[in-house]
Structure 1
Amino acid sequence: MTSTLLSPSTRRKLDESIPPLLRPLIRAYVLGYASAVAPRLLTLVLQYVTRRRKNKGVASAIRPHDSFITSLQRILRGGLELQRFPTFCAALVGGTTLLEVLLGTAFNRLLSTSQLTSLTRKRLLTWLSSFISAWLSLRLLQSKESDSFAETIGISQDSLENAKQETIRYAGRTLDLTLFASTRALDVIIGEIWSRKRSHRVTAEKWTRGESLISKLTDPTIFATSSALIMWAWFYCPSKLPKSYTKWISSAASVDSRLIEALRRCRSGELLYGKETGQAGLLQSMCADFKWPLEWGDPAKSIPFPCEVVHMGCGPNCEHHALSRFYRSFQWAMATYLPVNLFTKKRDLKGIKAAFISAARSSSFLAAFIALFYYGVCLARTRIGPHFIGKDTEARQKIDSGLCVGSGCFLCGWSVLIEKAARRKELALFVAPRAMATLLPRQYSLDKQWRETFVFAFSTAVVFTCVRENPKRLRGVLGKVLGFVMEAQPR
């Protein structure tokens, strides 16, 4: 963030050159622009470097440099458009602070005869200003039309000449943003209630070990539950997840798509054990690639297909496969986490050591996540499931129709216990909105969009009021960022 990239003296000078009332608006716009443009710029640079290495010495009609400059200009200009995220951030934060000033006098005069305290009136003013700004800023984003949320249908089919087409537009583009806000608002409300209860019971010396355990396990439980929903959606309903999210999970899982498709067909009833349904070719092609007996891929003969197929070349032992997955995933994750940690830490020996420890912990978490998912599948298919559900054809069909995947989904998220408590909070709040999105339609009727707008505005008002009154209640990095952005005075 800009607050960490600039020195305190430089930030102070920049702040002092801007009128106090406009500081939150400008900070919000700059941070919004950076968060919207920076990832795309990084992707562009990496693609450019990769392309230059591949095409080195190869003649091309269009020079890669020209293409890079054109894409660079498009990305930089795109972030400046009115209906984009930077303007939304400026309208949301700047609108809140400006409305507090504009409505302050009239609001206090209106409630001056009420029994409300000045602190309560201040909170209500902040909440109302935030609500109005959030409503209008989200409507600004929603006003941008997208072909992905539109459908063209024919309304007359009497003849080709008389046929007409109508474009129906759907809502849902801003759903992820709304779920993010609502998740944070729930965290603020529930956290405040629980904190007051804890304080009261500790004072009365009635705080129990069970309540202490609930406090410690809340974030891991949220993460594990959210991860289970996300992994289930990735396996059976990938359309419920953003494409980039699905692509990243697929890259981390490193699984043969034919295996996933076989388990999906087991669930849909296309692939039935003990019956010839014409599905043998799917896994038999996989058997041919891995040099396994072709009958392993025939559901009419192999009931069920061996767990070695799930292991994809790691041998028949489920535990060996889980350890192998952990090792390979750890290497893959370290290649990502270590450079990032080295970049963000100090360049001395202590900083380098901290970077390695942090990267190793995060890599272990991700590696355990992947290994537990696969081992959960094996537990249901081989180690535990058949002893409880049965070993007949019907039981095997039931296990591979969803129980084995469900077992993996249930186990994988508990790997978060490897992370530190503070990191668990961040991870839980990161995945919770994405998990909630899997339970809701990605597109819905435009006439119901006001409901989403209301939820976003209400939730944002709760979060912003919390930032004003008790910023420590808003957990994680978001609280620090909003505290910095909404502060009118220079640091």
Structure 2
Amino acid sequence: MQQQRRATVPGAGGGAFLQLRSLPPALRPLVRAYLLGYASAVAPRLLTLILQHLSRRRTKNKKTLPAELDERTFGESVVHVLRTGLEPQRFPTFCAVLVGGSTLLQEPLKRIIARVATGLGDTARLRIARWLASLVAASFSLRLLQSKPGLPRRDSSSAVAAQADRDAQGGKKFAGRTLDLTLFAATQAVDVIVGELWSRHRARRTAARKWTKGEQFISRMIDPLTFVASCGTIMWAWFYSPDSLPSGYNRWITSAAHVDLRLIEALRRARSGELRYAEETGQAPLLGAMCKDYGLPYEWGDPVKVVPFPCDIVHMGRGPSCEYHAWRRFWLSWRWAMYTYLPLALALQLRKPTRKSPLLALLSASRSSAFLATFITFFYYGVCLGRTRVGPHLVGKTVPCRQRIDSGLCVGAGCFLCGWSVLIETASRRRDMALFVAPRAMATLLPRRCAADKQWRETLVFAASVAVVFTCALENPERVRGMMGGILGLTMRN
């Protein structure tokens, strides 16, 4: 089974670069993990620098740096990125300690267990040794990453970073910089455990010829349901508590949404009670100014005169039809997404180019763009369903009911619908996407920081989760699903 797994891992049968035949087998996982960690940490930053440099060279703005100074600044930035990636408290060293420790400690621990627990068989000793080796390596590697001094990462929200700065000035010490990594490991561990239990349940039911269509349906829908629940949580957080999301993630969602932020602010104020229908609370200028910008009557934005404010405002001047607005949203979002997905799809096809590569790249990019466009369309149309199409018929049309709808029910409808766009993707993509968004959804439910003396809890969760995933990757690699399974299959082989 493991040999079959290795044959399917990208790069497993590639050149000698990652096979490292010149190194002793015991050291290959450690070095391979360091190289992959270094590439993943440095390559995106280098790509960003290159794109920024090319953009500056093409611009005709007179305020740009002189050519000679720009080249020198670019070179210094590249050297800085390459050098900081080599620091011992960075991600590459973390990867090397995590993987290297998990593999190198196995044999010593197995010998110790053999002396202490003489009644255990070789298989049980190896399994316990692997679990303990991964536990120790994960604990040490995470502590190494956490030991780097400094404020929260740049992708933390501005409010979190500002509070951290005030706490640092006051002498307080807080932790939480590695929360996203810990939640990612915990999600993978839960997926491994639940998947193994479900697999055994299925084997028993199949052997007894009691496996039902309902259970088969659950097997197919577990990933889509995970994605739907996770995306709903993330979108709710983006709407009402954006500081719970990393700032980069928050900006990307806002960019993809193409929404007037005054509309978002109005719905937030409706939820907080600052904006109340049929009551004068001084909120007319917010949506009133928006109405003027989109050629709509100013009075439509006054919550005292118009209850509720028309969906024309939600459509941002594209007419009263919710269905037309949904279709136009789909088209604009699909076109916007193609600018991102098509170059990536073409680049992936260059690995093994054929005559059909351009067509395959176009189909792949179109499908991914359709997913994103449907996600955005479902969210907006869900808001319209809640506000005008369905919500008033279920909740009521009185002023308090309208207030209740715009205080969260309409946004909740959009949050519930948007994730179902994942059904457009293939089963393998649904799995990867579910595993990608689940830890981000969990992060919105937890504080971004914790007291430094409570950091041992995070370390324990991370270590136990990694021990589960790594042990499973060595004993039953097919059980570790998604991209992580492929990476571990490539990294941990001798």
C-alpha displacement of 1:286: 0.7
For residues 348-359 of structure 1, the aligned pairs below 5 Å read: 348-359=354-365
For residues 357-376 of structure 1, the aligned pairs below 5 Å read: 357-376=363-382
State the partner residue of 1:48.
53
State the partner residue of 1:296.
300
The amino acid that maps onto 1:292 is: L
State the partner residue of 1:157.
none
State the partner residue of 1:119.
123
CA distance in 2, matches of 1:143, 1:57: 44
2:211 corresponds to which of 188, 207, 219 = 207
* Inter-CA distance 59–401: structure 2 relative to 1 (3 Å threshold): closer
The amino acid that maps onto 2:112 is: A
For residues 178-217 of structure 1, the aligned pairs below 5 Å read: 178-217=182-221
Contact 1:135 / 1:453 at 8 angstroms: preserved in 2? Answer: yes
C-alpha displacement of 1:59: 6.7
- Which 10-residue stretch deviates more, 54-63 or 144-153? 54-63
CA distance in 2, matches of 1:398, 1:6: 56
1:274 corresponds to which of 268, 278, 285 = 278
- Which 10-residue stretch deviates more, 355-364 or 372-381? 355-364
C-alpha displacement of 1:56: 6.3
2:417 corresponds to which of 404, 411, 416 = 411
Paired residue secondary structure (1:274): coil
State the partner residue of 1:21.
26
* Inter-CA distance 57–394: structure 2 relative to 1 (3 Å threshold): closer
C-alpha displacement of 1:5: 6.9
C-alpha displacement of 1:166: 3.2
State the partner residue of 1:92.
98
State the partner residue of 1:64.
70
2:464 corresponds to which of 455, 458, 466 = 458
CA distance in 1, matches of 2:263, 2:73: 39
Contact 1:296 / 1:302 at 8 angstroms: preserved in 2? Answer: yes
State the partner residue of 2:4.
none
C-alpha displacement of 1:356: 1.5
- Which 10-residue stretch deviates more, 341-350 or 313-322? 341-350
Aligned length: 473
TM (norm. structure 2) is 0.93
- Which 10-residue stretch deviates more, 269-278 or 41-50? 41-50
What is the root-mean-square deviation of aligned Cα atoms in Å?
1.7
C-alpha displacement of 1:241: 0.6
CA distance in 2, matches of 1:428, 1:68: 38
C-alpha displacement of 1:8: 2.7
State the partner residue of 2:492.
486
State the partner residue of 2:263.
259
Contact 1:151 / 1:169 at 8 angstroms: preserved in 2? Answer: no
CA distance in 1, matches of 2:277, 2:241: 23
Contact 1:151 / 1:167 at 8 angstroms: preserved in 2? Answer: no
Paired residue secondary structure (1:63): helix
Note the alpha carbon deviations across 1:15-52, whole angstroms, 9 max, x for none: 22111111101000000011111111111111111122
C-alpha displacement of 1:107: 2.1
TM (norm. structure 1) is 0.93
Contact 1:85 / 1:141 at 8 angstroms: preserved in 2? Answer: yes
Contact 2:230 / 2:437 at 8 angstroms: preserved in 1? Answer: yes
CA distance in 1, matches of 2:361, 2:220: 26
C-alpha displacement of 1:275: 0.9
- Which 10-residue stretch deviates more, 219-228 or 441-450? 441-450
- Which 10-residue stretch deviates more, 312-321 or 222-231? 312-321
CA distance in 1, matches of 2:321, 2:359: 36
CA distance in 1, matches of 2:427, 2:323: 28
Paired residue secondary structure (2:292): helix
- Which 10-residue stretch deviates more, 331-340 or 99-108? 99-108
CA distance in 2, matches of 1:439, 1:9: 44
Structure 1: gaps of 5 or more residues:
155-164
State the partner residue of 1:390.
396
2:434 paired with 1:428? yes
2:91 paired with 1:81? no
Paired residue secondary structure (1:147): coil
* Inter-CA distance 373–20: structure 2 relative to 1 (3 Å threshold): same
2:37 corresponds to which of 32, 35, 60 = 32
CA distance in 1, matches of 2:57, 2:114: 63
C-alpha displacement of 1:4: 5.2
- Which 10-residue stretch deviates more, 52-61 or 214-223? 52-61
The amino acid that maps onto 1:430 is: F
* Inter-CA distance 55–110: structure 2 relative to 1 (3 Å threshold): farther
State the partner residue of 2:175.
171
C-alpha displacement of 1:55: 3.6
State the partner residue of 1:439.
445
Contact 2:42 / 2:85 at 8 angstroms: preserved in 1? Answer: yes
CA distance in 1, matches of 2:249, 2:174: 22
State the partner residue of 1:246.
250
Contact 1:96 / 1:126 at 8 angstroms: preserved in 2? Answer: yes
Note the alpha carbon deviations across 1:126-163, whole angstroms, 9 max, x for none: 00000000000000111112223635469xxxxxxxxx
CA distance in 1, matches of 2:248, 2:191: 26
Paired residue secondary structure (2:173): strand
1:317 corresponds to which of 307, 318, 321 = 321
CA distance in 1, matches of 2:433, 2:41: 21
2:310 paired with 1:306? yes
Contact 1:151 / 1:168 at 8 angstroms: preserved in 2? Answer: no
Structure 2: gaps of 5 or more residues:
1-8, 153-160
Paired residue secondary structure (1:349): coil
The amino acid that maps onto 2:226 is: I
CA distance in 2, matches of 1:324, 1:200: 50
CA distance in 2, matches of 1:84, 1:474: 25
CA distance in 2, matches of 1:311, 1:52: 38
C-alpha displacement of 1:355: 1.4
The amino acid that maps onto 2:212 is: T
Paired residue secondary structure (1:168): coil
State the partner residue of 2:150.
146
Paired residue secondary structure (2:16): helix
CA distance in 1, matches of 2:364, 2:132: 42
CA distance in 1, matches of 2:91, 2:16: 26
CA distance in 2, matches of 1:482, 1:55: 47
CA distance in 2, matches of 1:275, 1:80: 60
Contact 2:107 / 2:129 at 8 angstroms: preserved in 1? Answer: no
CA distance in 1, matches of 2:12, 2:202: 39
Paired residue secondary structure (2:485): helix
C-alpha displacement of 1:335: 1.2
* Inter-CA distance 9–171: structure 2 relative to 1 (3 Å threshold): closer
